[in-house]
Amino acid sequence: MLRLAERLRRAPSQQWFALIGAIDQDPSTQFLIGTGCDYRPPRSGKLTCFANDVLGFYWNNKGQLELTVERVA
């Protein structure tokens, strides 16, 4: 069943439920967030994070995580 919906994930090239970041919810700025992630955004804007799932199907997800963001000069 999940295989049929793979192309519908918000970030189709990434794994299911991977933590993804984007600037201003712009899909062209999506990046994978993981341990030791060092990301330099292409522009300023609001950081949005989400689990890589199909839009409209977040209702059945459970769990939590802690994300630390550090601004470096």
First to last CA, the chain: 45
Query: For residue 5, is pLDDT > 80?
Result: no
pLDDT at 26: 94
CA distances from 59 to 20, 39, 46, 56, 67 (A): 18, 29, 24, 7, 21
Could you read off the pLDDT of 13-60 as tens digits, one per residue?
999 999 999 999 999 999 999 888 888 888 999 999 999 999 888 888
Query: For residue 73, is pLDDT > 80?
Result: no
Query: For residue 2, is pLDDT > 70?
Result: no
Query: For residue 1, is pLDDT > 70?
Result: no
